[in-house]
Amino acid sequence: MKLLLRILITSTLVMVISYLMKGVVVDEFSTALIVAIVLGLLNFFVKPVLVLFTLPVTVFTLGLFLLVINAIIILMCDHFVDGFDVNGFWTALFFSIILSLSQSLVYQLTGEGKQ
């Protein structure tokens, strides 16, 4: 049940951010649901591999390179999901920062952050 709630929250945030942010287009809510699922899968399977391969750069930049990895994950999601379009790297970077911050805020407000 928690997983479904997280997917719904993420898809709603994706829709809201795409409405407010230039350069990010989501066709409809079902596309946002697919984006939320694909982002979850990419974060689960691909992100740990990317973090492992870029560990020296991540340590050298004191963790700031993780923002670049998040932008790459967003661009990969753009590649895999039809109806989801991100204009470029910088847009993906800002989208990932806004999505992460808003997810943290909403999860804290709804009590989802506590495990």
Among the listed residues 55, 49, 95, 54, the one whose alpha carbon sits nearest the alpha carbon of residue 74: 95
Please check the confidence at residue 113 and state whether its pLDDT lies above 90. Answer: no
CA distances from 88 to 3, 17, 91, 94 (A): 29, 16, 5, 10
Q: Which two tokens stand for residue 104?
A: 């943290």
Please check the confidence at residue 88 and state whether its pLDDT lies above 60. Answer: yes
Among the listed residues 84, 80, 90, the one whose alpha carbon sits nearest the alpha carbon of residue 14: 84
List, in sequence order, every beta strand (DSSP E) within 6-77. Answer: 24-26
Look up the pTM and report it.
Answer: 0.92
111 pLDDT band (50/70/90 cuts)?
A: confident
Mean pLDDT calculated for residue range 83-88: 97
Please check the confidence at residue 1 and state whether its pLDDT lies above 90. Answer: no
Question: Could you tell me how many residues make up the chain?
Answer: 115
Span 36-85, pLDDT tens digits = 999 999 999 999 999 999 999 999 999 999 999 999 999 999 999 999 99
At residue 112, the pLDDT reads: 72
* Residue 62 dihedral angles phi and psi, to the nearest 5°: 55, 35
Q: Which two tokens stand for residue 19?
A: 């409405």
